[in-house]
Amino acid sequence: MLNLIFFGPPGVGKGTQAARVAKHYDLVHVSTGDILRIEIKLKTELGLKVQDIMASGELVPDDLLIELLENTCDKFKGANGFVFDGFPRTLRQAEALDEMMERKNCKVAKVIALEVSEDELLRRLVNRAIEQGRTDDTADVIKNRLIVYHKHTKPLIDYYIKQGIFVEVLGVGTIDVIFTSLCNVIDNRY
């Protein structure tokens, strides 16, 4: 089973590349952000709980995300593996993911961080807000999401470096060039 984590700040291209990698390697793409946005749109109990949190750019509480992730993964028994996009975002979430993987007798193979300058991130996020009508991508929310990322998520780098599974890939260039770089890393041709 091949399990990958796509890591990086909002707007780095995780979703685009995670979906391509999942299709290429026949893995399940799990985007917690997409799942939560669907819950909000459907006005489910979970969606109502997280709507204001996401609108402000803050992180959804660990326990809610961990439960959501485990329920999602359980729907795909027999999968070849997963590409986690937007999870984990805190040390507690990373530890919970490791515990879940251990219960399923597997592990995360690689944590791939897409690297992009902050100016490029801001440009991408503003464009995405316009093109996709993403109401959670206002200028103030974008700035707050980047602050939250640096405060809560970036410390995970050391956690995964210690496990020997953290790899950085330049997230600038065409989608195809970045995808090829990712496949080289996944296939250990870097």
Looking at residue 125, its pLDDT comes to 85
Question: Which residues lie closer than 8 Å to 107 by C-beta, 6 or more apart?
Answer: 3, 98, 101
Averaged pLDDT for residues 80-107: 92
Among the residue ranges 22-36, 54-68, 94-108, 113-127, the one predicted with the least confidence is 54-68
Contact 167, 110 (CB under 8 A): yes
Cα distances (Å, whole numbers) of residue 85 to 15, 32, 53, 167: 6, 7, 19, 15
Per CATH, the architecture of 2-186 is what?
A: 3-Layer(aba) Sandwich (3.40)
Order of all β-strands in the sheet with 81-85: 28-31, 81-85, 2-7, 110-115, 166-170
Is the pLDDT at 189 greater than 70? The verdict is: no
Is the pLDDT at 59 greater than 80? The verdict is: no
Looking at residue 11, its pLDDT comes to 85
Averaged pLDDT for residues 135-149: 79
Is the pLDDT at 2 greater than 70? The verdict is: yes
Looking at residue 181, its pLDDT comes to 96
Is the pLDDT at 139 greater than 50? The verdict is: yes
Averaged pLDDT for residues 137-151: 81
- Binned at pLDDT 50, 70 and 90, residue 136 comes out as low
Q: Looking at mean pLDDT, say which of 32-46, 49-63, 106-120 comes out highest.
A: 106-120
159: exposed, middle or buried (Cβ count in 10 Å: 0-12, 13-18, 19+): middle
Q: pTM, whole model, 2 decimals?
A: 0.84
Is the pLDDT at 108 greater than 60? The verdict is: yes
Contact 179, 21 (CB under 8 A): yes
Looking at residue 33, its pLDDT comes to 83
Per-domain residue ranges for the chain? Answer: 2-186
